Amino acid sequence: MSLSPALHASLDRPVWSALEGGHRHLARGGPLARRYPREIGPFAALADDSPAAWEALAALLEPGEAAMLVTPEAPRQAAAQHSGLVLTPLDPVLQMVATRAPGPGTLPFTVLGEADAGEMRLLAGLTNPGPFAERTHELGEFLGIRDGGRLAAMAGERMRPHGAVEVSAVCVHPEHRGKAYARHLLAERTLRIMEGGLQPFLHVYPSNLGAIALYESLGYVLRRQLHLTRVMPA
């Protein structure tokens, strides 16, 4: 896998790098802590593990609101506690990167837009591919397949760290599984990112063996495991 040291560093901290890079225009916060707008998603990040950074993150959260951190190492509970935050470790995620360009999808698809946002949220709510809020569809380009006039499958983009784009929200309506819709959309989404000169990557839970097998068949390989942590005010 021929990733540059800079790209490895960017992928180690995908949320922070995205909010400094391709999603800088969406970032809320400052030099110590940043987050996506609530209506886009719960992801946040810190510049470092210092008490000042944790205090800056605490200032970005409403009472009772949860944020999600994606980090190479588990955050230190002690540093967060001084800022009045409670950390809850969640299941780790595997980060996979594409190593080759797949052939393009062979099924007809459409580029989804604002007019499709309601259907996209319904499909995400039914299949739970990850956090999908009111404006998540604004993070990047989403592709969809319609079957019988209904949105049956989609695949989109999420974080945009320096030099890379995350493939996300790959999901298929339960009534349309077994038709290779996910494979075709994932192949097309990956190819489009590569044609833009960027590195496709994605995240998957270690227990999702079916998805991992699909990703591997399209040339994705494991890069590393990352920690997922929920953060809330005490």
pLDDT digits (tens, 9 = 90+) for 101-114: 998 778 999 999 99
Instruction: State the 10-residue block means of pLDDT for the chain, 234 residues long.
Output: 91 98 97 97 95 95 96 86 90 97 88 97 94 96 96 97 97 95 96 96 96 96 97 93
Output the pLDDT for position 76. 82
Taking Cα atoms as reference points, which of 13, 6, 21 lies closest to residue 140?
21
What is the domain-level CATH number for residue 65? 3.40.630.30
pLDDT digits (tens, 9 = 90+) for 56-91: 999 999 999 999 999 999 998 777 878 899 999 999
115, 197: one domain:
yes
Sign, CA dihedral 137-140-141-143, equals: negative
First to last CA, the chain: 42
Distance separating alpha carbons of residues 9 and 76, to the nearest angstrom: 20
215, 123: one domain:
yes
44, 81: one domain:
yes
Say what the pTM is. 0.94
Q: Are the beta carbons of 162 and 10 closer than 8 angstroms?
A: yes
Q: Are the beta carbons of 200 and 164 closer than 8 angstroms?
A: yes
Output the pLDDT for position 1. 57
Range of the domain at 163: 95-224
142, 190: one domain:
yes
